[in-house]
């Protein structure tokens, strides 16, 4: 009975002798069942995260993390994630998961060593790309499927999309909502291929907020009533008081969120909230901020309007998502307070527009119109700006993830745009503090940084459109020192 109880909690590595002694102790006590339950839970907790011990005989436990051996890139010109110019011809030695050495003079390796040598022939080596606003679970899956399909089917689609994301050169994504904890784990363990994921877990939303995907017939819900499909999946969490927000935020942290995502105002894809609406109260948002900050991390809030942005900032939020409808004083406020602005180049895209409902199309036109002004203000006040795509429910647009980055030259030089998608975004990832799932420097090519690297056939600083066609132009894709694509091989 003891073993069954333990297995139910998810892990069973307690030695029988230990159980025997606990059993004797318990027998001596009254209220034994209560105590036993408490002990079972407490003891099993110690082994959570090691549930591969329960795997069927014959299947090898996955490695704790995947990193490569050693790789030497010879004769490459480096875009380091920060500089506006390429380096002189250089050599870069990667060992394990990090960059060990960068040198303009030759790096010699023993001919008998297992160092993989790559002749760069003057090509460009740059950091892997980072998408600061991505939805691994729902970028490429149509919205009606998300509310109706079998969850396992949806997770399989997300698995395929994760590999496609990595193959587009995006070695890291900050996931701003969706059930991706399992996906992240499987990627990190090397069971499947995909980018590093900074997960938020469920998007926390008020009733009728941007994350309330319920059908009208599911309302009203009594307190404690049944969860909807999107809540059960872990895509969204609906909360309507500071206490409920606190619980939902802590639940995401418990599941492994590296930051918390709240819906602070109206959105385009949701049907039941005006784009002008302000969502949650300052007290509700602040409850999530307290929960996140106690865990060393931060809250990111979806907000388009000055009112929604200002409320989030007042509540202690560290990153504003979108903000296309901002005004000048609010942009200035973000700069003064050092708040991150995670902005997306959302402009008219005929294919994306055609797939929207009339309600979403009206809202999208407002947001598209604001994009120009938003980037202008972000530049004018030098706000810390992150690059992200926020592609949703659209396989075609997901395949054009790199084209979103190339579009940034409407407002920035190629070097500025690429810096945003590498070194700057890397800095934003580190805002997750002591719960950062990938501690180490991301988005830069420098000694000691994590080895997420792209070998590009041409210079993206001269022609940023190279990132639009990763199949052709990214010859090598490396993440954590492991080569996932190499078309240079004979
Ligand atoms: Zn989003």
- Note the pTM of the prediction, 2 decimals: 0.87
7 against 385, higher pLDDT: 385
| Contact indicator for 131, 389 with CB cutoff of 8 Å | yes
Cα 173 to ligand 1 centroid, rounded to whole Å: 12
Distance 275 CA to ligand 1 centre (A): 14
Whole-angstrom distance, CA of residue 123 vs CA of residue 472: 14
DSSP conformation letters of 231-272: HHHTSEEE--SHHHHHHHHHHHHHHT-SSEEEE-B--SS-SS
CA of 380 to the centre of ligand 1 (A): 25
Q: How far is the CA of 192 from the centre of ligand 1 (A)?
A: 24
Question: How far apart are the CA of 489 and the centre of ligand 1, in A?
Answer: 38
Q: Is the pLDDT of residue 25 over 70?
A: no
How far, in Å, is the centroid of ligand 1 from the Cα of 382? 23
pLDDT confidence of residue 60? 52
Distance from Cα 168 to the centre of ligand 1, integer Å: 19
pLDDT at residue 23 above 80?
no
- Cα of 133 from ligand 1 centre, angstroms: 6
Å from CA of 263 to ligand 1 middle: 9
Cα 216 to middle of ligand 1, angstroms: 23
Task: Please report the pLDDT score of residue 24 as a whole number.
Answer: 46
- Residue 77 neighbours by CB under 8 Å, 6+ apart: 86, 87, 88, 89, 90, 122, 123, 124, 125, 459
Q: How does residue 109 score in pLDDT terms, banded at 50, 70 and 90? A: confident
367 C-alpha to center of ligand 1: Å? 13
pLDDT confidence of 103, banded at 50, 70, 90? very high
Ligand 1 centroid to Cα of residue 296, in Å, is 23
How far away, in angstroms, is 142 Cα from ligand 1 center? 15
User: Mean pLDDT, the chain, as a whole number?
Assistant: 88
| Angstrom distances, CA of residue 217 to CA of 17, 147, 211, 220, 228 | 54, 14, 17, 8, 11
**Strand, coil or helix: 481:** coil
Query: Taking a C-beta distance cutoff of 8 angstroms, is the pair 41, 9 a contact?
Result: yes
- Sequence-ordered list of residues with C-beta below 8 angstroms from that of 31, at least 6 positions apart, any chain: none
What pLDDT sits at residue 168? 98
Tell whether the torsion through CA atoms of 308, 310, 316 and 317 is positive or negative: positive
Those residues whose beta carbon sits under 5 angstroms from the ion ligand 1 are: 176, 390
Q: How far is the CA of 301 from the centre of ligand 1 (A)?
A: 10
Model confidence band, residue 14 (pLDDT cutoffs 50, 70, 90):
very low
DSSP per residue over 379-430, as a string?
Answer: HHTT--EEE-----S-HHHHHTHHHHHHGGGGTS-HHHHHHIIIIIHHHHHG
Residue 412 Cα to ligand 1 middle (Å): 23
Distance 360 CA to ligand 1 centre (A): 14
Q: How far does the centroid of ligand 1 lie from the alpha carbon of residue 389, in Å?
A: 8
More confident residue, 211 or 270: 211
Distance from Cα 470 to the centre of ligand 1, integer Å: 23
All residues at 6 or more sequence positions from 199 whose CB lies less than 8 Å from its CB, including other chains:
175, 180, 181, 184, 256, 257, 258, 437
Cα 193 to averaged position of ligand 1 atoms, centre (Å) = 23
130 Cα–ligand 1 center, Å: 15
Compute, in angstroms, the gap from residue 344 CA to the centroid of ligand 1: 10
Q: Which of 138-147, 323-332, 351-360 has the highest mean pLDDT?
A: 323-332
Q: What is the CA radius of gyration of the chain?
A: 24
Task: Give the pLDDT of residue 113.
Answer: 82
Total number of residues shown for the chain = 490
Is-contact 51 100, C-beta < 8 A? no
Determine the distance separating the centroid of ligand 1 and the alpha carbon of 135, expressed in angstroms: 7
Residue 80's CB: how many other CB atoms inside 10 A?
21
Exposure string (b/e) for 276-309, b if CB count within 10 Å is 16 or more? ebbbbebebbbbbbbbbeebebbbbbbbbbbbbb
Separation of 96 CA from ligand 1 center, angstroms? 33
Q: Classify residue 450 by its DSSP letter.
A: B
Q: How far is the CA of 23 from the centre of ligand 1 (A)?
A: 51
SS3 state of residue 85: coil
Beta bridge partners of 282: none
State in Å: Cα 176 to ligand 1 middle: 6
Q: What is the mean pLDDT of residues 170-185?
A: 97
Residue-level pLDDT at 135 = 98
Distance CA 179, CA 432 (A): 18
């Amino acid at each position: 009975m003891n073993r069954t109880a333990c297995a139910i909690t998810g892990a069973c590595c307690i030695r029988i002798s230990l159980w025997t002694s606990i059993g004797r102790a318990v027998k001596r006590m009254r209220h034994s069942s209560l105590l036993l339950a408490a002990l079972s839970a407490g003891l099993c907790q110690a082994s959570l995260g090691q549930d591969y011990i329960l795997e069927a005989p014959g299947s090898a436990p996955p490695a704790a993390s995947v990193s490569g051996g050693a790789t030497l890139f010879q004769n490459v010109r480096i875009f380091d994630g920060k500089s506006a110019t390429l380096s002189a011809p250089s050599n870069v030695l990667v060992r394990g998961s990090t960059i060990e050495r960068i040198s303009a003079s030759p790096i010699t390796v023993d001919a008998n060593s297992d160092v993989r040598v790559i002749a760069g022939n003057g090509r460009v080596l740059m950091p892997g790309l980072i998408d600061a606003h991505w939805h691994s679970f729902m970028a490429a899956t149509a919205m009606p499927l998300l509310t109706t399909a079998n969850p396992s089917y949806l997770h399989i689609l997300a698995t395929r999309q994760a590999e496609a994301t990595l193959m587009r050169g995006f070695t890291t994504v900050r996931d701003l909502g969706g059930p991706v904890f399992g996906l992240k784990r499987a990627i990190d363990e090397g069971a499947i291929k995909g980018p590093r994921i900074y997960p938020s877990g469920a998007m926390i939303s008020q009733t009728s907020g941007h994350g309330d995907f319920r059908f009208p017939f599911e309302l009203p819900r009594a307190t404690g009533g049944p969860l909807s499909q999107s809540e059960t999946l872990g895509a969204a969490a609906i909360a309507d008081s500071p206490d409920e927000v606190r619980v939902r935020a802590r639940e995401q942290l418990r599941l492994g969120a590296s930051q918390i995502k709240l819906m602070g105002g109206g959105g385009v894809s949701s049907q039941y909230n005006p784009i002008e609406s302000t969502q949650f109260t300052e007290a509700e948002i602040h409850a999530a901020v307290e929960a996140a900050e106690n865990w060393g991390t931060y809250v990111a809030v979806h907000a388009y309007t000055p009112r929604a942005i200002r409320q989030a900032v007042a509540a202690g939020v560290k990153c504003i998502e979108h903000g296309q409808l901002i005004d000048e004083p609010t942009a200035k406020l973000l700069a003064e307070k050092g708040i991150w602005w995670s902005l997306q180049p959302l402009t008219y895209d005929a294919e994306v527009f055609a797939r929207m409902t009339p309600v979403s199309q009206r809202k999208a036109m407002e947001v598209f119109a604001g994009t120009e002004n938003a980037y202008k203000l972000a530049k004018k006040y030098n706000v810390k700006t992150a690059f992200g795509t926020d592609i949703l429910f659209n396989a075609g647009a997901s395949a054009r993830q790199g084209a979103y980055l190339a579009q940034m030259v409407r407002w920035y030089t190629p070097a500025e745009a690429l810096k945003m998608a590498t070194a700057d975004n890397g800095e934003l990832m580190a805002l997750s503090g002591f719960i950062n799932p990938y501690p180490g420097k991301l988005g830069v090519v420098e000694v000691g940084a994590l080895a997420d690297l792209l070998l590009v056939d041409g210079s993206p600083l001269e022609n940023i459109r190279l990132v639009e066609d990763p199949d052709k132009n990214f010859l090598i894709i490396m993440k954590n020192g492991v080569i996932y694509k190499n078309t240079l091989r004979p």
